[in-house]
Structure 1
Amino acid sequence: MITTAVLDQFARDVSDVVPQIDATAEHQRWQPGIGAFDEEEQVRRLVERLGQQSTCYEVTETEVPYPNSEQRCDILLESEGSQIPVEAKLLRFYRDNGDIEPAAYTTVYSPFSNSLVADAKKLADSEFETEGGLLGLYYEPADGAFPLMDATKLAEKVVRDVEYWYNLTLKTQTIAEFTGLRHPVHQQGAAIAWELTG
């Protein structure tokens, strides 16, 4: 129950701070706004900002070693004595210039790579005290989502693929939308949280 509540609040908190970070995010190579930054830098900025605000977690760490391997978990939330591991992925189907990003689909759905779907299996096999969850940072242009994809459809497909490939139960916990970002392509989106339940 604690994992469910913490993941729900975490997605909502991330959604709240994305526009705050976006307001001052400047990239040396890409257009202004948080959406163009790579996954590691976005996670670092989000966790840093959340650490400055009052939240429901006592400790938030990044790049925490897995108890049973050399791999590192993107985010570890600690709340009421429980440690909740979270793997994060950028769900970004457009490049900085508005072109479709061909590798994005693999980054989300491939069972054969370091994808969001594969991260569910990695968490299930870990020896963290809780199975934890996934966080997706989804971005899209305001003038037209990818015709066959939006945050809800994307979340549902991740659940189906995790069950299909790994026979694991993943539940979409929260889809917390954000809008009004400065980047001309990555203008809006959602923080999506999934809970691994078995």
Structure 2
Amino acid sequence: MKRSSYRIQQLAQAFAHTIPIVDETATHRRWRPGIGPFEEERQLEQLREEVENRGLIEVTINYEEPYPDSSRRVDLLLDDGGNQLPIEAKLIRFRRDNGNIDPNMYKSVFSPFPERSSSSMLTDCQKLAESGFDFPCGVLGLYYESNEEAYEELRADRIAEKFTLDVGYWYDIPIEPICVESFSGLRHPHHQQGAVIAWELTEP
């Protein structure tokens, strides 16, 4: 495995290990207890802090660093002895706090159409490719589901496969799924288990 691929996998494994730990005390004022309902930014903040406190990764994790060629900021920037590896991260959470399907979540993951106010996980790949950062780059998906998810198409391995195909279809950017790191035993009734899904983008 390439060093960059190993670093992306190491981060995915650290997050998957940490999610059940953070879940034990994560309480939202509006939603039911557990990390699943939390907003993306807050989840990443809690997970990064826990990973660092436990020393679960061998490199420095920088946060919200600016892109070299724009005012945009990348979610995570791994610094491996001066070698920088930018990573964008997104929640993949198709069910709401009440268990109903969130009609906006599919768009936030798979939409190829950039919008001024937001971006999807798919358009994040295009942003990374045009960011001015050197390749390779990484993408992380924090996926949550219930223990008895009715839709087989929503499984983490199926999402990993579909996303890989979609990036190639829309942008012709070389992408490889690196890992699907599972976690379980969460408190929320509809965000009970899941996986951290990781991909690596390489130079076209």
TM-score (norm 1): 0.96
Contact in 2 for aligned 1:91/1:138 (Cα 8 Å): yes
User: CA offset at residue 126 of structure 1?
Assistant: 1.3
Which residue number corresponds to residue 158 of structure 2? 153
Say if 2:141 is the partner of 1:136.
yes
Question: Partner of 1:52: helix, strand, or coil?
Answer: helix
The Cα shift of 1:145 comes to 4.5
- Counting only pairs closer than 5 Å after superposition, residues 122-133 of structure 1 correspond to structure 2 as 122-133=127-138
Per the alignment, in what secondary structure is the counterpart of residue 20 of structure 1? helix
Distance 2:96 2:56 in 1: 32
Residue 148 of structure 1 aligns to a residue whose secondary structure is helix
Task: Kindly provide the CA deviation profile for residues 67-102 of structure 1, in whole angstroms up to 9, marking residues without a partner as x.
Answer: 110101011111233111100000000000000000
Structure 2 residues not aligned, in runs of 5+: none
**Partner Cα separation in structure 2 for residue 15 and residue 117 of structure 1:** 22
CA RMSD of aligned residues (A): 1.1
Distance in 1, matches of 2:78 and 2:164, equals 22
1:144 Cα deviation after fit: 2.0
- The aligned amino acid for 1:187 is Q
Cα drift, residue 57 of structure 1: 3.3
Unaligned stretches of 5+ in structure 1? Answer: none
Identity in percent: 45
Equivalent position amino acid for 1:57 in 2: E
The answer to whether residue 191 in structure 2 is matched with residue 190 in structure 1 is: no
Alignment of 1:30-69 (within 5 A): 30-69=31-70
How many Å separate the matches in 1 of 2:57 and 2:43? Answer: 21
Moved more, 148-157 or 174-183: 148-157
CA shift for structure 1 position 16: 0.1
Alignment check: 8 A CA contact 1:123 1:131 kept: no
Whole-Å Cα distance in 1 between the matches of residues 153 and 175 of structure 2?
Answer: 22
Question: Conserved in 2, the CA contact under 8 Å of 1:57 and 1:78?
Answer: no
**Amino acid paired to 1:150:** R
Alpha-carbon distance between aligned partners in 1 of 2:92 and 2:141, rounded to the nearest angstrom: 6
One-letter identity of the residue aligned with 2:17? D
Residues 83 and 64 (structure 1), Cα distance of their counterparts in 2 relative to 1, 3 Å cut: same
Match of 1:76 in 2: 77
TM-score (norm. length: structure 2): 0.94
Provide the C-alpha distance between the structure 2 equivalents of 1:27 and 1:57, rounded to a whole number of angstroms.
Answer: 31
CA–CA separation in structure 2 for the residues paired with 1:64 and 1:177:
28
